[in-house]
């Protein structure tokens, strides 16, 4: 049986690596992207070369209509939904909270918190056994920043990931009896493109211990029981 996953923010970084790894295990992958279709198509090509099937799916996770359409497109194309990797997120230039304007804070929480909640909600609606679903998995991508706080850099980002941790705890208890397992991973400093959004494209490279294990050691740990791999 071929399993299907929707990966938000799947066109780059952790999302792309997850898509590629699941493709190698024969999964069908919905690759969500916000604006960069070319990057999403590159991810789709990598999934297909690895042995899976994939579909680029446009959508802003902070927009309810977009989120619903994303899920509908994946189910229409592949016939089912077994997992959500709730990965989409943003960061902004490093600065103390006192210098952050409302527009930055609003966008940060719209994408990283509201977006994560909307995507988890739609996954729950489609996978919960009490709503006619067959069960499944939600993996939320949090961050070590949720515990460290990111002072003088990204306290807004850190707070948004703290909200993801709390959502994960509540949903694990809420959806577990309904056939949906909910977990989160908290990556540390990972060498991906997101650091350029924060004005520090070389941040991970300059770290003493840039990490690349998030997909192998984190996400796949929670998806493995579903795919038998």
pLDDT in tens, 2-11: 899 999 999 9
Contacts of 61 (CB under 8 A, 6+ apart): 8, 9, 32, 34, 67, 88, 111, 115, 116, 118, 119
Counting beta carbons within 10 angstroms of the beta carbon of residue 125, is it exposed (0 to 12), middle (13 to 18) or buried (19 or more)? Answer: middle
Helix H or strand E encompassing 28: strand 28-33
Q: Where are the domains of the chain?
A: 4-227
Cα–Cα distance between 196 and 175 in angstroms, integer?
A: 36
Distances from the Cα of 120 to the Cα of 15, 68, 152, angstroms: 16, 11, 30
pLDDT, average across residues 77-94: 97
Least reliable range by pLDDT among 3-12, 172-181, 194-203: 194-203
CB neighbours of residue 172 within 10 Å: 16
Ramachandran angles phi, psi of 210, nearest 5°: -65, 140
Residues 33, 117, 154, 157: which is the catalytic one?
157
Instruction: Render pLDDT for 92-106 as a digit per residue (tens, 0 to 9).
Output: 999 999 999 999 999
pLDDT of residue 155: 98
Residue 211 DSSP label: B
Ramachandran angles phi, psi of 53, nearest 5°: -115, 155
Cα–Cα distance between 15 and 187 in angstroms, integer?
A: 13
Ramachandran angles phi, psi of 113, nearest 5°: -110, -65
Q: State the angle between helix axes of 115-127 and 64-78 in degrees (0 to 180), rounded to the nearest 10.
A: 40
The correct answer on CATH 3.40.50.720 for the domain covering 4-227 is yes
Percent of the chain with pLDDT over 90: 81
Q: Is the pLDDT of residue 198 over 70?
A: no
The pTM score is: 0.86
pLDDT, average across residues 57-73: 98
pLDDT of residue 1: 74
Q: Residue count of the chain, please give it.
A: 229
pLDDT of residue 195: 41
Known active-site residue 117: no
Least reliable range by pLDDT among 5-9, 32-36, 64-68, 218-222: 218-222
């Amino acid at each position: 049986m071929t399993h299907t996953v929707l990966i938000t923010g799947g066109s780059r970084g952790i999302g792309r690596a997850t898509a590629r790894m699941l493709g190698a295990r024969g999964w069908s992958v919905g690759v969500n992207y916000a604006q960069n279709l070319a990057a999403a198509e590159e991810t789709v090509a990598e999934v297909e070369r690895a042995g899976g099937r994939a579909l680029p799916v446009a959508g802003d996770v902070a927009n309810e209509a977009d989120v619903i359409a994303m899920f509908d497109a994946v189910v229409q194309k592949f016939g089912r939904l077994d997992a959500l990797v709730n990965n989409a997120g943003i960061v902004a230039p490093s600065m103390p909270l006192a210098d952050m304007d409302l527009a930055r804070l609003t966008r940060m929480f719209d994408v990283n918190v509201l977006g994560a909640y909307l995507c988890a909600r739609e996954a729950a609606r489609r996978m919960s056994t009490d709503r006619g679903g067959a069960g499944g998995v939600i993996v939320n991508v949090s961050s070590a920043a949720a515990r460290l706080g990111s002072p003088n850099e990204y306290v807004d980002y850190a707070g948004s990931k703290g909200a993801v941790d709390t959502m994960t705890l509540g949903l694990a208890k809420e959806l577990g009896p309904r056939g949906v397992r909910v977990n989160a991973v908290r990556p540390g400093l990972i060498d991906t493109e997101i650091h350029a959004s924060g004005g520090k494209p070389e941040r991970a490279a300059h770290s003493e211990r840039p990490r690349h294990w998030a997909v192998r050691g984190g996400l796949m740990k929670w998806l493995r029981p579903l795919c038998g791999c």
